[in-house]
Structure 1
Amino acid sequence: MSLTGTPFFVIAICLLVIAFVLPLAFWSRLRGPAAVRGLVRLLMLLFAQLTAITVVFVAVNNANGLYDTWEDLLGTGDHAGVAADLGPDGTGGRKLSEQPKEAAVFRPVDDPKVGEGVRVTDLKGRISGVEGEVYVWLPPQYDDPAHRDKKFPVVQLLPGYPGSAKAWFGALQVNKQLKPLMQQGKVKPFILVSPRTTLLGDQTDTGCANTPGKVNADTWLSVDVRKMVTDTFRASDRAADWAVGGYSAGAHCAAKLAIAHPDRYRAGVSLSGFNDPNGEPAALTAATPELRRANNPYFMLKNANDAGKPPHTALFLSGAAGDGFEAAGALKGAARKPTTVRVVKTVGPHGTSVWKTQVPEVFRWLSEQLGK
């Protein structure tokens, strides 16, 4: 059973009610030796405390989309596969245009919290070796006969760490917010794609990087998932029609992927992100000073500028003081044309309540950036 959604929450509440009723009903009715009565009463109290903590955990988990499965919570699932060294471009020297199609079979998501139209598939990346679920939502225009020959732009959405791949649809309700805006023509009809980013069973954040021998997270996101989407749906394969966005650790990933791969993404969105991977101590990319620098979007951007190759990408960066705003300012200061940066200062906690309110503004901005 999923840790997110209504069923598990209802079960937790029922257990909590039982836990409080038990002492009221049986406290004074217990019989037997004093030691036995004391032990039973202690167990009833512990059961009440445990169920209360569980209800609070489930409520917080549902609100923020942190852990989707028991494997994610306990750190027992490993989705990395064999992590070969795929080289600097993450393809292992393979020409993607010559690879066979990876059309996937999707099924509806059985979770009312994510809203209608969200579907999911289990993908095994042919190049990355990563296995994981990928959630997709199609815009209302997709099945309109008037758009049957249209290829749609795509926005790849990344959660934080820990984070469920469907958190954008559940906690942030991105599809529910955007559907009316798309129908009114205020936002472009984007295909929304959210892949699994929790890939290692030891509860280590991949930093969305390729780490030979550990995990090829960059290739999973920017190559395998991307190719599956263009092979399965009427999705454009032009970099000019693709963007990647995220919040928290996913924001760090989004900025990094957009800067590293302007041939795959035209825009990146970072909500309360950070530049130094050490901002996420559990990240593989924080292990050494060399890795931290190589996976820091600020230094990646400066290195590209120094090489005379500033990326043709647009960045939307938001954050509060002490929570992403300074990192955004550093990137803006390092940007050189054709890189463009928009910085938005926010107020509020580091949480989905703030990021959810930014969805309309972000996608209006994306509507101006993609398709050029």
Structure 2
Amino acid sequence: MGLTSTTVLALAILAGVLLFAATVWLWPKLSGRTWRAVAGRIGLLLATQLALFSAVGLAANKSFLFYGSWADLFGQETSMGKVVDHSMSSDDIKVVDKQKLDVPGGAKPQVGGQILKVAITGQKSKITSPGYVWLPPEYFQPQHKDQNFPASIVLTGYPGTAENLIKGLDYPMKAFSLSKSGKMKPMILVMLRPTIAPPRDTECVDIPGGPQTETFFAEDLPQAIQSTFRVGKKPQNMGFIGNSTGGYCALKIAAHYPETFGAAAGLSAYYDAPDDPTTGDLFHGDEKLKKRADVLHSIENKKPSGTSFLVTSSEKGEPNLGDTRKFIKKVKGPDRVSSIILDSGGHNFNTWRREIPPMLMWMSGRIQA
């Protein structure tokens, strides 16, 4: 039974309920002062607490997919696999597995598209990160064999996994359905997590003496995508999408690299890098680097270039509403800004699932093949 299975969660809840009932039932019998009675009470309380905490943890993990398997949870996940498909690989991107989309006829890529599990290596940053690539059905169809496609980088939040974007947020399925219904153009999606130096939260910053995370996402990754897949090399060919930490990265990097990205969407993005135990010292006293990490400062001082931005928040539930409104006011033409402001919605997958379809349609109208 997998870590994210409903059966495991149900068993944990059942164990908690049974242990609670057993505690109530046996408490009178364990009310004495003998060491056996005391040990019995302690044992029942600890077992009940453990079961309840396990159930809560499993429920949270099932919703947010922090860990995809038991091996992932206990740090025993090793290599991504040994099978390499050289026909779809390049020096920068190695394909290690393929998945079909769960749609009728999905076993044929020209019908259901294809999800590639990949390992991406940055030529400048020397960082290697796992991820997934969604290739739409049109990519494999003979009539489109010489056609380029628009591409968007998609980042999840911290400490999420790239798998969240497929199983939790359904990016490939949403893109497939919207494209099939004519609501968006076919688009390649390159899906990763921002945590490319785990367990550290590097916030897409080039850390002095540390991981060059911004370089990886802003320079290495677009180059890898363009050298491996049929994607153009102009800013109107490339978008950047993310939720939470990923949204912060998307907005910041698009503001810093308008020559690479024509559009960026930040779902529930925040607008400055946090300073906490997960990040460590990101800037090492470099005030210029610290200001560069401030999205509101970056957008205010950005040279206008025609970049399109989409930001999302909610009137009730999201903590970023005030900064989102500040961002909207700071965008200057010919740059453009759009927004999705929900009446209510917290910082969670359910909120982002409501925002992803209109966001993908928006992105489809901003970047092209």
Task: Tell me the TM-score normalised to structure 1 length.
Answer: 0.78
2:148 matches 1:148: no
Does the 8 A contact of 1:118 with 1:135 survive in 2?
Answer: yes
State the distance in 2 between where 1:118 and 1:360 align. Answer: 19
Question: 296, 299, 302: which one pairs with 2:297?
Answer: 299
In structure 1, the partner of 2:156 is 159
1:142 aligns to what SS in structure 2? helix
State the distance in 1 between where 2:65 and 2:92 align. Answer: 28
Does the 8 A contact of 1:140 with 1:182 survive in 2?
Answer: no
The CA deviation at 1:256 is 0.3
Residue 188 and residue 302 in structure 1: after superposition, are their counterparts in 2 closer, same or farther (change >3 A)? same
State the distance in 2 between where 1:244 and 1:281 align. Answer: 27
Residues 252-287 of structure 1, C-alpha deviations (whole Å, 9 max, x = no match): 111001111112211000112222324878445577
In structure 2, the partner of 1:104 is 94
Does the 8 A contact of 2:12 with 2:55 survive in 1?
Answer: no
In structure 2, the partner of 1:183 is 180
Higher relative contact order structure (alpha carbons within 8 Å, sequence separation ≥ 6): 1
Structure 2 counterpart of 1:165, which letter? A
The CA deviation at 1:37 is 5.1
Residue 206 and residue 54 in structure 1: after superposition, are their counterparts in 2 closer, same or farther (change >3 A)? same
| Percent of aligned pairs with the same amino acid | 26
Structure 2 counterpart of 1:132, which letter? S
| Aligned pairs (5 A) from 1:19-30 | 21=18, 24=22
2:140 aligns to what SS in structure 1? coil
2:356 matches 1:359: yes
Residue 124 and residue 101 in structure 1: after superposition, are their counterparts in 2 closer, same or farther (change >3 A)? closer
Structure 2 counterpart of 1:353, which letter? N
Structure 2 counterpart of 1:133, which letter? P
2:58 matches 1:58: yes
The CA deviation at 1:110 is 10
State the distance in 2 between where 1:274 and 1:214 align. Answer: 23
State the distance in 1 between where 2:259 and 2:282 align. Answer: 23
Residue 103 and residue 318 in structure 1: after superposition, are their counterparts in 2 closer, same or farther (change >3 A)? closer
In structure 2, the partner of 1:312 is 306
Question: 198, 214, 221: which one pairs with 1:218?
Answer: 214
State the distance in 2 between where 1:106 and 1:236 align. Answer: 24
In structure 1, the partner of 2:123 is 126
The CA deviation at 1:311 is 3.3
| Aligned pairs (5 A) from 1:317-336 | 317-321=311-315, 323-336=319-332
Residues 223-263 of structure 1, C-alpha deviations (whole Å, 9 max, x = no match): 33323333333333332111111112211111001111112
2:185 matches 1:195: no
Question: 348, 353, 361: which one pairs with 2:345?
Answer: 348
In structure 1, the partner of 2:171 is 174
State the Cα RMSD in Å. 3.6
In structure 2, the partner of 1:260 is 256
In structure 2, the partner of 1:90 is none
Does the 8 A contact of 1:156 with 1:245 survive in 2?
Answer: yes
Say how many residue pairs are matched.
340
Does the 8 A contact of 1:19 with 1:44 survive in 2?
Answer: no
In structure 2, the partner of 1:96 is none
1:263 aligns to what SS in structure 2? coil
Residue 132 and residue 37 in structure 1: after superposition, are their counterparts in 2 closer, same or farther (change >3 A)? farther
Residues 343-369 of structure 1, C-alpha deviations (whole Å, 9 max, x = no match): 232222121211111111111111111
State the distance in 1 between where 2:116 and 2:321 align. Answer: 34
Residues 150-196 of structure 1, C-alpha deviations (whole Å, 9 max, x = no match): 12111111112222222222222222222121012211111111123
1:104 aligns to what SS in structure 2? strand
Does the 8 A contact of 2:101 with 2:115 survive in 1?
Answer: no
Does the 8 A contact of 1:12 with 1:51 survive in 2?
Answer: no
Gaps of 5+ in 1: 78-99
2:201 aligns to what SS in structure 1? coil
State the distance in 2 between where 1:110 and 1:17 align. Answer: 35
Task: List, as ranges, runs of 4+ consecutive aligned residues in structure 1 with deviation greater than 6 Å.
Answer: 69-77
Does the 8 A contact of 1:159 with 1:165 survive in 2?
Answer: yes
Structure 2 counterpart of 1:138, which letter? L
Deviates more, 1:103-112 or 1:221-230: 103-112
The CA deviation at 1:210 is 0.8
State the distance in 2 between where 1:197 and 1:21 align. Answer: 40
1:319 aligns to what SS in structure 2? strand
Gaps of 5+ in 2: 78-89, 107-111
Residues 296-337 of structure 1, C-alpha deviations (whole Å, 9 max, x = no match): 122112223xxxx32331101111246333323222322222
Does the 8 A contact of 1:156 with 1:243 survive in 2?
Answer: yes
Does the 8 A contact of 1:266 with 1:314 survive in 2?
Answer: yes
